[in-house]
Amino acid sequence: MNALERMLDEFDAHASQAAPSAARMAAAQALRAQGLPTRRDENWHYANLRALESVERFGPVAPQTASSAASPAVTPTAALPPLPAPLEGYSRLLFVDGRLWSGSPWPAAAGITRLPFEASVAAEPAAPFSTSGDGRLGLTARLFAPEALALRLAGTVALEIISVSTSAAAGCYTDLVLDIAADAQVALVEQRLTAPASPATPTQPTAIDAHNLRLRLEAGASLVHTRLQQTADHVVQHDSLAAIVGERASYRLRQVTAGGASARSSVQVQLAGREAAFDLRALAAARGTQVADAQFTILHEAPGTRSEQMFRGIASDRAHVACSADVQVAATARGARVQQSLRGLIGGKGAEVDLRPRLTINTDEIQATHGATTGRLDENLLFYLLARGLDDAAARSLLKWAFLGEALGAVDPPALRRAAGLAVAAQLSDAPAAELLQ
């Protein structure tokens, strides 16, 4: 059986024991009707979809102990990787194998309200992106996420969501819906981690780490969203993110991908309200035979909307990094402004970087610029540094770090920027000097 058939068989087996929710049943129906993406789909041409076939089991990790209302399921602390230090001023939610960890208290901060998940999903407008488009791979998370979560964030909120996968032979899933209230000021951090490998951990991809996120920004809201994705080499990681940005609302996304045998991000941002804004700073670093692929689709639908997309990618050894930024400006988006800058650096003889900036413009009242460049390290700059006494490894490391600096510099707070820098450094063939990571 192929990956989709095995996935649906596992879902059906689970559904026969416990009646699934309407949202799960709708996800299964959509997958049966549409199937998984293939490389024949233009936006999936560079993704490593074959890695899904190597996943041993799609169902989520079974809880370590029996769960009940009085005694929730827990994972032994010894099974967790070292968790990052709490970010100052942030509330934290910790998911372990897709379940809220009982050892982490629910945030006491004002402005964070839990909503009924099924009602929140039912309130979502029909979206082809999520059911038949690039976001449909996120339906796998809706099928299997053990603890789907919907939140409303109001006022001034700083929230950190950490997802930890502890198994080398089962799935880790989260399915989240976040409503950002009108005029709210929200800082959201997502981090994805994998427990340390054991001697029995396979070297080939066998586990799946999948995440589904829906964001709705009401009028005047501001969201700064930082994602740090650093899964292990045996993990097939993918995430699907759909955001609707309302009038005068601002969405800033900072995304760092550094890890996983195969990583795919599918992002769609709908600028639905007048003067809505989206700013993207994304970075991907891959080594060995890793594949990191990202698809960013930005829909300008209202007057005065603006977006900026910046991507920086480095492929070392025989790795493959790909990014597509597809901006579609509707006739109703008069006065829109668009800027694109995609750059890739090839750091190995067998490495590959593929960049695709795309603009579809249906109005004459627009300001738009775009560009994409791919190449190797500048030999003139390298010679300049060597001539001033740096050894070859240090010189190459310095040039690579300068290439990534603009994207990493957008990550806040500083503690998170350092964590992102360390994650990226581990994916480079020339490790940067320690002082560059300060």
* Average pLDDT score over residue span 387-399: 80
Strand partners, 322: 293, 354
Q: How confident is the model at residue 197, as a pLDDT?
A: 64
In whole angstroms, give the CA distance from residue 87 to residue 416: 8
pLDDT band for 224, please (50, 70, 90 cuts). Answer: very high
In whole angstroms, give the CA distance from residue 129 to residue 137: 10
In whole angstroms, give the CA distance from residue 215 to residue 245: 8
Q: How confident is the model at residue 403, as a pLDDT?
A: 87
Q: Which of helix, strand or coil describes residue 221?
A: coil
Tell me: the pLDDT tens digits for 157-178? 999 999 999 887 778 999 999 9
Residue labelled with tokens 């001697």: 199
Q: How confident is the model at residue 154, as a pLDDT?
A: 98
Task: Please state whether 141 falls in left (phi above 0), alpha (psi between -120 and 50) or beta.
Answer: alpha
pLDDT for 142 beyond 70? yes
Tell me: the pLDDT tens digits for 339-370? 999 999 998 889 999 999 999 999 999 999 98
Q: Hey, what are 2's tokens?
A: 């192929």
pLDDT for 432 beyond 80? no
**Residue 330 amino acid letter:** A
Tell me: the pLDDT tens digits for 34-92? 999 998 899 999 999 999 998 988 988 777 543 333 334 445 555 677 888 999 999 99
* Average pLDDT score over residue span 21-34: 94
Q: How confident is the model at residue 274, as a pLDDT?
A: 98
Alpha-carbon dihedral 38, 44, 47, 51, rounded to 10 degrees: -20
**Cα distances (Å, whole numbers) of residue 42 to 38, 94, 135, 340:** 9, 36, 14, 20
Q: How confident is the model at residue 118, as a pLDDT?
A: 94
Q: How confident is the model at residue 404, as a pLDDT?
A: 87
Alpha-carbon dihedral 260, 266, 271, 277, rounded to 10 degrees: 20
**pLDDT greater at residue 378 or residue 122:** 122
* Average pLDDT score over residue span 323-331: 97
Count of C-beta atoms within a 10 Å radius of residue 86: 12
Q: How confident is the model at residue 78, as a pLDDT?
A: 55
- H-state helical runs in 351-391: 379-387
pLDDT for 202 beyond 90? no
Phi, psi of 422 (to 5 degrees): -65, -40
pLDDT band for 399, please (50, 70, 90 cuts). Answer: confident
Q: How confident is the model at residue 380, as a pLDDT?
A: 79
